[in-house]
Chains A and B, each alone.
Chain A
Amino acid sequence: MKNIFLALFLSIVLFACNEDNSSIEPEQPILEYAIASEKDEANTYTLTLRSSKANLHEGVNNVAFVTEGDTLPEGGEWKILPKMHMQMEGMTHMHSTPFLGFDEADNHASGIGQILFLMPTVEMGSWTLEVSYLLEDESIADWTFEIQVDAIEFLAQDPTFKTVVRVPMGDGDETLIMGYNFTAGEPAMGRNEYEVLAFKRMQAMDHGHGDGHGHLETYMPLNDLTIKSTPFMPDPSMNHGSPNNTDPSFVSEGKYVGIANFTMTGGWQIKMNVSEGENTYLTEEGQSFYTEF
């Protein structure tokens, strides 16, 4: 099944290089900010993590990995693995996080993708991004980025205001994970196109103990959701919505695009009613996306 590949089993994905190298122009960084640069383990290749924002943060991040200096051999594929290392009671627990994209990969760069960090870096937990470039299943280069993922903090104190929505899907261990991304980068007054990334998380068999490889949880893109949305200002002095919004609709694997109209700056919720067939996972009274600008 096509979804199997996209399910990012074990949270590891291999991206085939695009034979057409013209998609990435090294002279023009594909994303504005360089977050970190690392040499591979053989100290041959330098890889830079780039992002559309100055810092990585909880929620959806637009990122790409771009080589600098020596060129990797053509025809390879990229492997990316985000990992959260949690220290609990003297043991290390690990889990991953979902991501999408990286479709325009070649031997210079991974192409742009979106990583949805489920949580920020915390005192007892840190994030790494493990990246490999493989040629015929042989590793050409391996990099490990130790990254800082910032928490998103709001002035409004409401536990249902989220950057990442997590709700159970029925009675099992599966969880609906959703994050948002404004296409223009930041929300603004006026008409805002935004993406909703939606995944089903399935628990790992061994809760991510040990070195983690092969036992992390699974994130499957969800493509059949029906999302009804209502942008809303929850501030008690406002308590109103906005007109002429468009509900997010499916555009590609795990991704939905909608329009949210923000009539002023301030704190805005995007309340959602999310269902899949007969199953309703989220109503507008529950968790919602939230942003302040």
Chain B
Amino acid sequence: MLIPFYTTAQDKKITTYHLSEVTISHDTIPSENYLLSVDDYMNQRNDLQVVKRGGFAFEPIIEGFTDGQIAVSIDGMRVFGACTDKMDPATSYLEPVNLKKLSVLKENESQMYGTALGGTIMAEMRYPDLSKSLEVGVQTAYSSNSNGFDGNLYVEKTISDQWGIRYSGAYRKHDSYTDGNNELVKYTQYEKMNHTLTSTYKLSTTEKLTALLMYDHGMDIGYPALNMDVGSAKALMGNIGYTKHYDKGFINHLEAKVYYNDIKHVMDDSKRENVAIRMDMPGLSQTLGAWVSVNRKTNNHKLTLKGDFYSNHLFADMTMYSPSGGVNMYMLTWGDIRRNSFATNFQDEWKLDPRLTLLTNLRLEWASTNLQNELGRKQLETMNYFIDGPRSDLSGSFSALFKYKLNSSIESKFGISYTSRMPSASELYGFYLFNANDRFDYLGTPDLKNEKVISFDFTLRYHQENWQIGARGRASFIKDYIVGVVNENYDSMTSGALGVKTYQNVEGATSTHFEVFAGVAFSKQLNYNLNLVHENGYIDALHSPMPYQRPLTIKNKLSYQLQKLTSSFYYEYSVGMQSPSEALGEQKTDPYHLVNVDFSYPVKLKNSRLYLELGVHNLLNSYYIDPFSWNGIPNSGRNIKTSIRFII
């Protein structure tokens, strides 16, 4: 009696089920309704977890894998945050009003966008589809808890049969929120704006050009879990794409893109009280890239070949203002780190027989990584590392997934994959990067080896016309796991830090993921979905659980359509973090219950539509701490959000 509102399939970009009248695409951003921020949207998903350091810029986690272990692709672009403290994950520069889809890709599919152990987050931007001459949408919302304003606007115009443009903009401003005890959680405020222009130009019936230009600016962003906030986070991204379909010929589809993105991130502690030392910490990330992909379909095969290149440059430094009137201090934390990467990816979906399909994927990536700044190199000499040129890494993955349809009701999948990923820039060359979660300064290790993982994945799904139930499990065995290990010979640099950790390869770590999903459509108006997840992981060398393993969490969603009124009731229960990775800064959290209700009511107007929306999130005003929240920062208490949406 259950219908999934979500599942995590291995081999689908868009997890969509067609059950009776119910069609729910988990990855597709709700059309025209951009009330949620990307953070909210990621937080509500079942196939993604987030790390919260405050009220903004949540860091995505895929089944316990994070940072260098996952890849982020924004409209086909590799994007790397510019903050050494991970305060600006690439997703923080997105707005739902710009997005068509936000997908979480795992195993086979994920490798198309980067060599990633855990998966890939792929954001597809919204382009004009030339189907409407003009559409304008405006939405404003008010949040009671944070005295917050959210507004967005989009204009989509078809200029000719061949050419269309779309502008979208968003602005958000929120004060600090209060928690479930009605206590103000200081430094959770944020403000941001986003402007995006996309265009489609049809060269012919089979060819088109696309272009994107996006500017995002975050301001006065608080991070209560850290020592500093963010004064400014600016991102400028642009790309030009080309697509061609071939009705005949050896290949069926060709797609190519060139892109560039530039991110400037400035940390700020000017609003903090009682800081040990005032600091400026700017960071810069610039990425230039291009890729081309071709597809070929035969009777039994779907072949994809992709080649991509990117060049990423990272720079970050710190100026520390002596509180005692002494000389100011300066150091580089990312000393002009340049990574040039070339990768090729081959994928084949082979229909072995009507019931059995084999999906294979092979990716090879070669990268050159260099610490270019002479000062940065001299700093590393203090650790007895003498860098005189770039290092080369070969990484990649191989995966095979069998999909077997036992009968019309039972489907199963079994996959195995091997992935070897190169160390990230911070893991190689980071210099005294303070991690506010475990309160250690982190030092990179330039001679790290690749981290390797073998994963086994199994899914079983049983479905009938109006309901389905299924389960999925994954086990990963990691070799040369990269983790910070305490180095007692080194003094910490950050005031209040507990010591220094250096990134090291440790012999073994394992992680498992298990979930049950189910859903039922009681009627055309009423449906219910359930998702239960539990994860586990252990690092042998540290005798510690792996971080970011999701404790048992159950999510329920009941949706009901009463005439024109759409309503949904959401209930989440988590046992809380019971086995924290204390060695890496996690702490126990209590179980919690979370209830959200949402209503939407359309008002019919002449030649336009008006929607009135109301949401009450954390209806019970529960005081709770997200299991992955840094330093026990509590979540927002009850928030009443009202919205008006107007579309012409």
Contact = CB atoms under 8 A, between A and B. Distances in A.
Interface string A263-293: 1111100000000000000000000000011
Interface in B355-385: 375, 377-379, 381-384
Interface string B124-141: 000000000000000000
B206 interface: no
Interface string A38-54: 00000000000000000
A110 B104 CA distance: 75
Interface stretch (A23-31, A55-63, A118-126, A238-246): A238-246
A243 B490 contact: yes
A190 interface: yes
Contacts of A191: 378, 381-382
A264 B382 CA distance: 10
Nearest to B331: A264
A266 B493 CA distance: 13
Given A189-B379, A190-B378, A266-B320, A156 B493 contact: no
A241 B277 CA distance: 17
B279 to A, nearest CB: 9
Nearest to A241: B491
Contact of B329 (A157, A235, A236, A244): A235
B327 A189 contact: no
A156 B378 contact: no
A262 interface: yes
B276 interface: yes
Nearest to B320: A237
Given A191-B382, A237-B277, A266 B329 contact: yes
Interface string A135-164: 000000000000000000011110000000
A265 B378 CA distance: 12
Contacts of A132: none
Most buried by A among B318, B328, B492: B328
A240 B331 CA distance: 14
B326 A261 contact: no
A190 to B, nearest CB: 3
B325 interface: yes
B298 interface: no
A237 B331 contact: no
Contact of B378 (A154, A189, A236, A293): A189
Interface in B380-412: 381-384
B171 to A, nearest CB: 37
Given A237-B276, A239-B495, A243-B382, A264 B327 contact: no
A188 interface: yes
Nearest to A264: B331
Interface in A233-259: 233, 235-244
A237 B322 contact: yes
B489 interface: yes
B484 to A, nearest CB: 16
Interface string B326-350: 1111110000000000000000000
A263 B489 CA distance: 14
B492 A240 contact: yes
B607 interface: no
B317 to A, nearest CB: 10
B324 A237 contact: yes
A242 B491 CA distance: 6
A261 B196 CA distance: 48
Given A191-B382, A240-B493, A243-B383, A292 B327 contact: yes
Contacts of B493: 238, 240, 263-264
Nearest to A292: B327
B381 A261 contact: yes
B378 A240 contact: no
Contacts of B432: 263
Most buried by B among A155, A157, A190, A241: A190
B379 A263 contact: yes
A161 to B, nearest CB: 10
Q: What is the predominant secondary structure among interface residues of chain A facing chain B?
A: loop
A156 B326 CA distance: 5
A11 B323 CA distance: 44
Given A238-B329, A242-B491, A261 B324 contact: no
A237 B278 CA distance: 9
Given A238-B495, A263-B432, A244 B382 contact: yes
Contact of A263 (B322, B325, B382, B495): B382
Nearest to B330: A265
Interface in A201-255: 233, 235-244
Contact of A242 (B326, B328, B382): B382
A142 to B, nearest CB: 43
Nearest to A261: B382
A239 B327 CA distance: 14
A264 B331 CA distance: 5
A220 to B, nearest CB: 35
B383 A236 contact: no
A266 B375 CA distance: 14
Nearest to B375: A189
A261 B331 CA distance: 13
B324 A156 contact: yes
Nearest to B278: A237
Contacts of A189: 330-331, 375, 378-379
A236 B329 CA distance: 12
A282 to B, nearest CB: 22
Contacts of A238: 277, 320, 329, 493, 495
Nearest to B487: A243
Contacts of A242: 382, 491
Interface string A179-200: 0000000001111000000000
Contacts of B323: 235-237
Contacts of A157: 325
Contacts of A188: 378
A293 to B, nearest CB: 8
B274 to A, nearest CB: 12
A190 B326 contact: no
A292 B326 contact: yes
Nearest to B431: A263
Interface in B408-452: 431-432
Nearest to A232: B491
A293 B491 CA distance: 20
Interface in B464-521: 489-493, 495
A239 B492 CA distance: 9
Contacts of B324: 156, 235-237
Contacts of A240: 491-493
A289 to B, nearest CB: 15
Contact of B327 (A156, A190, A236, A241): A156
A267 B326 contact: yes
Contact of B383 (A155, A244, A264, A265): A244
Interface string A96-120: 0000000000000000000000000
A238 B496 CA distance: 10
B325 to A, nearest CB: 6
A239 B378 CA distance: 21
Contacts of B328: 265-266
Contacts of A241: 491
Interface pairs A-B: 10 shortest CB-CB: A190-B378, A266-B329, A237-B277, A261-B382, A264-B331, A240-B491, A191-B381, A292-B327, A156-B326, A265-B330
16 contacts: A154-B326, A154-B327, A156-B326, A190-B378, A190-B382, A191-B382, A235-B322, A236-B276, A237-B322, A238-B493, A243-B490, A261-B381, A263-B432, A264-B320, A264-B379, A267-B327
Given A238-B493, A292-B326, 5 more contacts: A156-B325, A189-B375, A190-B381, A235-B322, A264-B493
Interface of B: 276-277, 318, 320, 322-331, 375, 377-379, 381-384, 431-432, 489-493, 495
